[in-house]
Amino acid sequence: MDEDERARLAEFVGSRTPALMRVAYLLTGDRNAAEDLFQSALARTIPKWGTIRHADPEGYLRVVMYREQISWWRRLRRWRETPLNPADEPVGGDPSGGTDVRLAMRAALRHLPPTQRAVVVLRYYEDLPEARVAELLGCSVGTVRSRTHRAVKRLRDLLPDVDRLEVRR
Amino acid sequence: MTEPFEHLIRSTLTDLAEEAPIVHDQLSRAERRVRNRRRATVTVGAVSTLAAILIATPLALAATGSDEPPPAVPSPAGPAAVPSPPVPTPSAPTTVPTVEPSPGGAPGDPSITPGVPGQPTVKPSPSTRPGLPSTPGAPGKPLVSPTPTTPLGPPGVPGRPTVTPIPSR
């Protein structure tokens, strides 16, 4: 890689790192794991930079991150429970406008497996349609639907006061 | 009921994304990771190739040697004799022309025909090498039958002496 291409790569990384780190943090739910995921995806992207720099390098990097997160090898390497912060623990009733429910939802999101978490992030944070999610993750649309359904069902099960939430809304 | 719940998921993910860590200098770390990965790939490839050669070479040699016939069983009588290679013998000396001149025969017996001189009865012996399997269907070379230069005399009559004149000086 010559100096010109390396300068473009450095510019791309510097400008897109915050947005990509947000996605990585949502996918992993952990700061260190997010940084590791982003570095790993970037390391896979750098050798391909000569061919993808004119196309869509950010899309390529995002796809690498999504697939790296749900890959079997990565799950095998990080087979551990994500520690919860004290603020993520489920709390009791709070009359201050649903803060308790949000904290409970945050804790519930950390308990989702990587595949379901990736589908939730792509569907509800990136606002991508099911077909696009299936294309990015390399699976079928039916798989995306089933994973979304299971993820939402598990979140409902993990939330303590979802009925109260519906009343408030 | 799903609509508010999905809205809760979206808002929680948005809140979480704002808490993503801010990282710097990701490019140099990713490049270091690329170099380490490339070095590891080259090392693993070299070790794999060496292992494959070490495993496959004896197997290939054994497979190549199995095409030959098995070695001869040594005789239990004594030490194994060193097999001497058969000396190819020309077929000409082995053909001994057997000339059977009929000695005179019984006078007055016209039924007995004298042997025809000049046509010796040749008994060709097959030139097969002992110890080696003979190739079936390979006929031996036609043996050369020597013809006597001097015609033999009539049966019962001794041949004329050949007088070689010696020039006197």
User: B11 in a domain, yes or no?
Assistant: no
Tokens of B137: 């269907």
Number of domains in chain B: 1
* ipTM score of complex: 0.79
pLDDT for res A121: 94
- Extents of the domains making up chain A: 1-83, 85-169
Please answer whether residues A130 and A144 qualify as being in contact, where contact means their C-beta atoms are separated by less than 8 angstroms: yes
- The class of domain A85-169 in CATH terms is mainly alpha
Whole-angstrom distance, CA of residue A166 vs CA of residue B109? 144
Task: Name the residue with tokens 């030490």.
Answer: B79
Q: What is the mean pLDDT of each run of 10 residues along chain A (169 residues)?
A: 84 91 91 91 90 86 91 64 52 59 86 92 93 92 94 87 54
Whole-angstrom distance, CA of residue A115 vs CA of residue B92? 91
| Cα–Cα distances in angstroms (integers) from residue A6 to residues A47, A62, A135, B23, B33, in the given order | 11, 20, 30, 19, 16
Q: Extract the residue ranges of chain B whose pLDDT is less than 50.
A: 95-96, 103-116, 118, 127-128, 130-138, 140, 144, 148-153, 156-157, 168-169
User: Nearest-CA residue of chain B relative to A26?
Assistant: B17
pLDDT for res B34: 92
Collect all residues of chain A within an 8 Å Cβ-Cβ radius of residue B22: 18, 21
Chain B closest-CA separation from residue A138 CA (Å): 23
Collect all residues of chain B within an 8 Å Cβ-Cβ radius of residue A9: 27
Write the Ramachandran bin of B16: left for phi over 0, alpha for psi from -120 to 50, otherwise beta: alpha
Whether residue A105 and residue B9 make contact (CB cut-off 8 A), yes or no, is yes
User: B49 in a domain, yes or no?
Assistant: yes
Three-state secondary structure call for residue B16: helix
Whether residue B21 and residue A42 make contact (CB cut-off 8 A), yes or no, is no
pLDDT for res B128: 46
Residues whose CB is less than 8 angstroms from the CB of residue A123 and which lie 6 or more positions away in sequence, other chains included = A130, A133, A144, A148
Whole-angstrom distance, CA of residue A94 vs CA of residue A101? 9
Whole-angstrom distance, CA of residue A63 vs CA of residue A67? 6
Structural domain of B43:
29-59
User: B52 in a domain, yes or no?
Assistant: yes
User: B33 in a domain, yes or no?
Assistant: yes
**Which parts of B66-112 fold into alpha helices (H)?**
91-94
User: Among A8, A33, A35, which residue's Cα sits nearest to residue B22?
Assistant: A35
User: B19 in a domain, yes or no?
Assistant: no
Whole-angstrom distance, CA of residue B85 vs CA of residue B129? 10
User: Nearest-CA residue of chain B relative to A33?
Assistant: B21
Whether residue B15 and residue A42 make contact (CB cut-off 8 A), yes or no, is no
Tokens of A86: 């004290």
- The pTM of the full predicted model, rounded to 2 decimals, is 0.58
